[in-house]
Amino acid sequence: MKYVTEYRDAALVKNVIEEIRRTVTRPWTLMEICGGQTHAIVRHGIDQLLPPEIELVHGPGCPVCVTPLELIDKALAIASQPNVIFCSYGDMLRVPGSGRDLFSVKAQGGDVRVVYSPLDAVTLAEKHPDKQVVFFAIGFETTAPPNVMSVIHAQRLGLKNFSVLVSHVRVPPAMKAILGSPHNRVQGFLLAGHVNAVMGYHEYPPLLEEFQIPMVVTGFEPLDIVQGILTTVQLLEAGKIEIANAYQRAVTFEGLKPAQDAIHKIFMECDRTWRGIGMIPMSGWCLRPEFDEFNAEKRFNVGDIHTKESSLCIAGQILQGLKKPHDCPAFGKECTTENPLGATMVSSEGACAAYYKYGR
């Protein structure tokens, strides 16, 4: 654990923060795009240690949070059907749909199971040929490779009772939507290191050219995060529009080509609705038509489900960096981790959950 411990060394973190204090000369607003980074920032109090000139706002990098409400309702509709085993990661079970969540379906007799890998769902399909096994394939680029491998593996096994409900989203189009908004406040981005570990950062130069703001690939430990902030501030103060890699131990410019090839074999780009934000063109991945036999939406005919967001929840504004969780009048009142109005309160990477858990 020595390698990880060094990235949590309080003295080293304080030294970098002091360097940020010496560097900054004016206010800057930075966005960490990843929910995992948001939780690390709030958990370790990094935002409170920074000089007052630096404001961190929280981006839409929580895959559970941005899974659209209509996809949750489709999941609920599928999971409620007889002879279905519905598989999902654990933090999706408490995400509210229009009127209930997957835990409610399970309590009412639905066969809803928590899995730790999409290949676990494929194994269930092998063991239960009399059941339809559905895996809820959500996430950013990070979780796409194992999800596509589940489809490839099921196809090789000739399974006819396995399908995926796909809700994959992509980071660069979301950043473009945020930066292109007339209400945008973001002046620099901390890029999500795990996304870049898979995809590299060769997709970002067009955004750099169009919006002229620096971006820094950043990791998840306290030292990673403050180093990413320092690098971003240094670029901003010097007036440099660049992409820097402050997470070189895990990320290269090209990324993992075999993983990218697998993704593009199974998925194609598509328009995707983001919960609380709305539709962002070509911001998602969906199954290619040649893999329709594994498409749960088509297998269970739930493509026409449409929904409406809660009027009380301001998660969309939080996910765009326009407001903080404590700006929501329902925060900690009508909306708690026990009774969430939106996914940002229930997800393990949600900004509202972080503020609520750590008492902000």
Do residues 256 and 197 lie in contact, with contact meaning Cβ atoms separated by under 8 Å? yes
Tell me if residue 304 falls in helix, strand or coil. Answer: coil
Helix (H) or strand (E) holding 240: none
Return the DSSP state at 34. Answer: -
Q: Tens place of pLDDT for every residue, the chain, 360 residues?
A: 467 788 989 999 999 999 999 999 999 999 999 989 999 999 999 999 999 999 999 998 888 888 888 899 999 999 999 999 999 998 888 888 888 899 999 999 999 999 999 999 999 999 999 999 999 999 999 999 999 999 999 999 999 999 999 999 999 999 999 999 999 999 999 999 999 999 999 999 999 999 999 999 999 999 999 999 999 999 999 999 999 999 999 999 999 999 999 999 999 999 999 887 889 999 999 999 999 999 999 999 886 666 666 667 888 888 888 888 988 988 888 888 878 877 788 777 888 888 988 876
Token match 């995926």: residue?
164
Q: How far apart are CA 96 and CA 267, in angstroms?
A: 27
- Residues ≥6 apart with Cβ < 8 Å to 129: 161
- Residues ≥6 apart with Cβ < 8 Å to 18: none
CA distance to 37, 76, 125, 130, per residue, from 85 (Å)? 33, 12, 9, 10
